Structure 1
Amino acid sequence: MQRLAPHLCVVGHPNKGKSSMVSTLVEDDTVQVGLESGTTRQADSFYFKWHGKTLLQLTDTPGFQRPHQVLDWLTSVAVNPAQRPARIKEFLAEPTHAARFPDEVALLTPIMAGAGILYVVDAAQPVTAADEAEMEILRWTGQPRMAVINPMTVGEERTEWLGTLEQYFQWVRVFNPLTADLPARLTLLRAIGELRLGWSDAMAELCAGLEQRQQQRLKDVSIRLAQYWCEQMDRREPMHALHRASGLKAEEILRQKLDDAERQWFHSLLDLWHFQSTEVDRIADWALDAHNLMRTETWYLWGLKQKDLLLVSAAAGAAAGLAIDVGLGGASLLLGAVSGGVVGSASGWLATKQKPGQRWGLFRLSQEKTFIGPVKHPNFPLVVMSRALSFVQQLWVKPHAERSAFTLHNTAEQWDRSAQIQLLKWVKTLQNGRWKSHHQQALAAWIQSQLSARLERFMAAEKDRTWLM
């Protein structure tokens, strides 16, 4: 049997989530989604391509506007059930109907050309006569049909809707495109494959590919995160004459570089997930000075309470001070700590303005300083890792129809003490120049286990709220 790529028209009332359904199922956040009625004004097709091969086509259609009038026209001539599809084609062929019923003509044309139907409803409201007219028109097409209840709001009408939809459609499912995780999407895609002979092979290939991609992404992202984290832990920036002339403070230059690196890494993952329109709202509320860093609640925001951080730092052999290396000799000065994309200023000292042999505070500067970094604050590794893992988790479970920005808050991580000590030991090894390939592999494996655990917890928490049935 010839393998066919399923083609379905997504149909329903205006503003009931048709475009969101398309966006989530084909993983395309460029599909126009709006709260106002009538966002979709014409039939637009979107494709899920896998290795250059189209495995699913969805056509986003305008909603019904005059279903009663259309059904009245169809039933004005008595026809038997076998003649109903031909009657629909007569409706489309009538020259005046493109102007009188533009929305209905736009949605029925691709259906009568061979597309199946994905009918989207919001079950929070009772079934109306207009709903029944729409469903009857779709039944007249004779094409394979599935109904999807989009639970946009909480309502008590689902039982009535289920009983009604089952009279008109081969399959009825409940599916929220704004919260659907991969298992929910896979179940819906497999059901689509059962609507018409020849569709199941394409859907089986697509579902298998998505599951394989999930596992490969877990491995690849863990490797990339390990590389990014190491670069942030070991980052040092040269101080040039240009910086001296501009009056930029040394710690501000490093903060900008760390912040830029985080932003670029986040956007590289957005590209990997094919998010083209989604923004990242990084909360920059940790630009803290040295005094605030010593407050208990501040330590908690950074990942650990003060007492815990001191214990973990001591066990890892890491410095418990507030330090960034500055200079050729690696002297540690109380210059600042990472913040808000990554370093908050802790002093107004500018390394490039100090002369050899001068003192700053209690420290003698034996030579003019030419670089700043890396950050050696013991909470810095925990913060950078926590932010990166939080972003990946959000990205992993975010459907393409859900258009809110990614928001990163600074919260304490629930790692056990052994994991915290291990991270600080890795940083010490890295910054002391003893980092080897086996360290990198161990770090990537640890990250993979952390991501797996996070995703398992999320899926378990969402299981009782799964919308798919």
Structure 2
Amino acid sequence: MTKRSDIPVFAVLGHPNEGKSSVVATLAENDAVPVSPTPGETRQCRDYPVFIDDAEVIRFVDTPGFQNPRAAHKWITQNADPEKPWLDDFIRAHETDAEFVHECRLFTPLAAGAGVIFVVDGTRPVRTADRLEMDILRLTGAPRMAVINTKDREHGDYIEDWKTAARIHFNIIRIFDAQRASFAERMDLLKSLRAIDPDWDEALQRVTEAFETDWHMRLEQTAAIITDLLASVLQYRAKKTIHDASATEAAEKQLVVKYRQQVADMEKKAHHRIKKRFKHNIFSYDLPAQSLAGQDLFSEKTLKALGLTRNQMAWAGAGIGAGLGAKGDLALAGLTFGVFTALGGALGAGSAAWGTRKISRAKIKGQALGGIRIYAGPVKNDQLLYVIIDRSLIYFWHVINWAHSRRERPETGNDSDAGVSNFLSAKWSREQKKISQRFFKEVRQKGTAAGQQAVREFSAMIRDLLKEISRT
């Protein structure tokens, strides 16, 4: 057996279709790992290194399932000396034998010094072939852990039987749902690996510390993304110049629609950046239909969820308010976005959720000099900002709880926003609301020293919320 490298390597083994590839994808946070319900889909060993700050810290090897454990076990017990390494002997004896193609391939990383993560399906009973596979791995002498993949326990629960069978053959046994594992659960499993071999304790401690440091950095970056999103919305203004006064009303409607589209696009891009921070790169991540963050920001469904009346939804849906005030401001008196906040209250007269206003230039012979300039924004309704914050927190919660092995949303299961509801702005303390109000105020004023401090305080508050959310 080859001496192990300084980088911990773990071969993920098991019977076909037990969830080996799902465990690899989730532990490595790699949605490029092929995951398929078809048995025997993995035919070659595939390496999946994990990099942090461009340095490889750990590697997982996805392996084919055992092909002929009964015959392999017979050869090992009859020909191998249990006191000496025998993996290389087995590979040399059978490398051209079609009966043991998969065994030769999955033994190769073990012969090179890899540890074992043996994955079994806890929803089915233990079979004779399973006991033979576990005994083969015991005979390798490799450091090993058994992972009982819970998959879909509605279709069977044999976890206790598996635990009893695995205790004979493995140093450590862990229960793990590769389809739904949180960051904390992934870290617990990685920390458990430290106990399977004292020679790897120091290296695996560095791995877990690197993962935790990287996770905290992602939370910092996500807080910065949300803070930047709010600052952009607070300062965004859409404008248009027209030269025909009779076209003002139509232009105002178009401008408000443009404003709403731009704000929604800012939010969408920010959410995409959050998704990328957590290594969801290939497969589309669609929020569940019932999630508030999965709706269009200004859609009727979102507005209804936020507690607007039918008339208020009609105004918002048309992209224009009840009418223009004396100064040309778009008046949406009474329109509130505050179902998630404790702020409440209607908009004051002369204010606007995304206020449009006209500025007429001096006229020469009845024509406006330079035309009529109309504006939409910046947003004056702080409650809309709280909604954007809440939707970002909801999106974050769903992203970090979407394991990289999941390829589609199951038809059943609890994928609502309930898990994050206690962290939304309606539940914030008075101090948290003060911090956010200072941030809104100072960003609107732009560029002051107090504004920079307000931004830092707000970003730190959001980061702390993200930490709390990620622990749930």
Deviation at 1:128, TM superposition (A): 0.6
- Aligned 1:23-38 pairs, distance under 5 A: 23-38=25-40
Question: Distance between the aligned counterparts of 1:426 and 1:296, measured in 2?
Answer: 32
1:154-183 Cα shifts (integer Å, max 9, x gaps) = 244222211211111122222222333333
Q: Does 1:375 align with 2:379?
A: yes
Find the partner of 1:74 among 63, 72, 76. 76
Deviation at 1:93, TM superposition (A): 1.8
2:98 corresponds to which residue?
A: 99
Report if the CA contact (8 A) 1:145-1:170 is conserved.
Answer: yes
Residue identity in the other structure for 2:468: E
Residue identity in the other structure for 2:309: M
Deviation at 1:398, TM superposition (A): 3.7
More divergent stretch after superposition (386-395 vs 366-375): 366-375
Question: Distance between the aligned counterparts of 2:394 and 2:93, measured in 1?
Answer: 56
Find the partner of 1:287 among 295, 299, 308. 299
**Alpha carbons of structure 1 residues 396 and 459: separation in structure 2 relative to 1, 3 Å:** same
Structure 1: gaps of 5 or more residues:
331-354, 358-364, 461-469
1:226 corresponds to which residue?
A: 227
Deviation at 1:209, TM superposition (A): 2.2
Residue identity in the other structure for 1:24: T
Deviation at 1:39, TM superposition (A): 2.9
Question: Distance between the aligned counterparts of 1:271 and 1:261, measured in 2?
Answer: 16
Question: Distance between the aligned counterparts of 2:436 and 2:201, measured in 1?
Answer: 47
- Aligned 1:255-294 pairs, distance under 5 A: 255-281=260-286, 282-284=294-296, 286-288=298-300, 293-294=308-309
Residue identity in the other structure for 2:453: Q
Report if the CA contact (8 A) 1:239-1:370 is conserved.
Answer: yes
Question: Distance between the aligned counterparts of 1:72 and 1:390, measured in 2?
Answer: 54
Structure possessing the higher relative contact order (Cα contacts under 8 Å, 6 or more residues apart): 1
Q: Does 1:237 align with 2:220?
A: no
Q: Does 1:309 align with 2:344?
A: yes
Deviation at 1:231, TM superposition (A): 0.6
Deviation at 1:10, TM superposition (A): 0.1
- Aligned 1:340-419 pairs, distance under 5 A: 368-369=372-373, 371-404=375-408, 413-416=425-428, 418=430
Deviation at 1:66, TM superposition (A): 2.1
Question: Distance between the aligned counterparts of 1:175 and 1:100, measured in 2?
Answer: 32
Number of residue pairs aligned between Structure 1 and Structure 2? 416
2:137 corresponds to which residue?
A: 138
Residue identity in the other structure for 2:398: Q
1:90-144 Cα shifts (integer Å, max 9, x gaps) = 3322356453332222211221222121101122222110101111222232222
1:115 corresponds to which residue?
A: 114
Per the normalisation by structure 1, the TM-score is 0.75
Per the normalisation by structure 2, the TM-score is 0.75
Residue identity in the other structure for 2:373: K
Deviation at 1:232, TM superposition (A): 1.0
Root-mean-square deviation (Å): 4.0
Question: Distance between the aligned counterparts of 1:383 and 1:89, measured in 2?
Answer: 61
1:50 corresponds to which residue?
A: 52
Deviation at 1:9, TM superposition (A): 0.7
Q: 3-state DSSP class of the match of 2:196?
A: coil
Q: 3-state DSSP class of the match of 2:98?
A: helix
Find the partner of 1:324 among 355, 360, 363. 355
2:171 corresponds to which residue?
A: 170
**Alpha carbons of structure 1 residues 255 and 408: separation in structure 2 relative to 1, 3 Å:** farther
More divergent stretch after superposition (389-398 vs 204-213): 389-398
Report if the CA contact (8 A) 1:10-1:18 is conserved.
Answer: yes
Question: Distance between the aligned counterparts of 2:340 and 2:190, measured in 1?
Answer: 46
Q: 3-state DSSP class of the match of 2:13?
A: strand
Residue identity in the other structure for 1:195: I
1:241-299 Cα shifts (integer Å, max 9, x gaps) = 9xx9xx9922222223222222222222222222212434342274249x974349969
- Aligned 1:179-218 pairs, distance under 5 A: 179-218=180-219
Deviation at 1:450, TM superposition (A): 4.6
Q: 3-state DSSP class of the match of 1:125?
A: coil
Find the partner of 2:450 among 419, 435, 438. 438
Residue identity in the other structure for 2:27: L
Residue identity in the other structure for 1:219: E
Structure 2: gaps of 5 or more residues:
287-293, 314-333, 410-414
1:9 corresponds to which residue?
A: 11
Q: 3-state DSSP class of the match of 1:46?
A: strand
Q: 3-state DSSP class of the match of 1:380?
A: helix
Report if the CA contact (8 A) 2:21-2:35 is conserved.
Answer: yes
Question: Distance between the aligned counterparts of 1:306 and 1:205, measured in 2?
Answer: 42
Residue identity in the other structure for 1:168: H
Report if the CA contact (8 A) 2:21-2:34 is conserved.
Answer: yes
Question: Distance between the aligned counterparts of 2:312 and 2:158, measured in 1?
Answer: 47
Report if the CA contact (8 A) 2:442-2:454 is conserved.
Answer: no
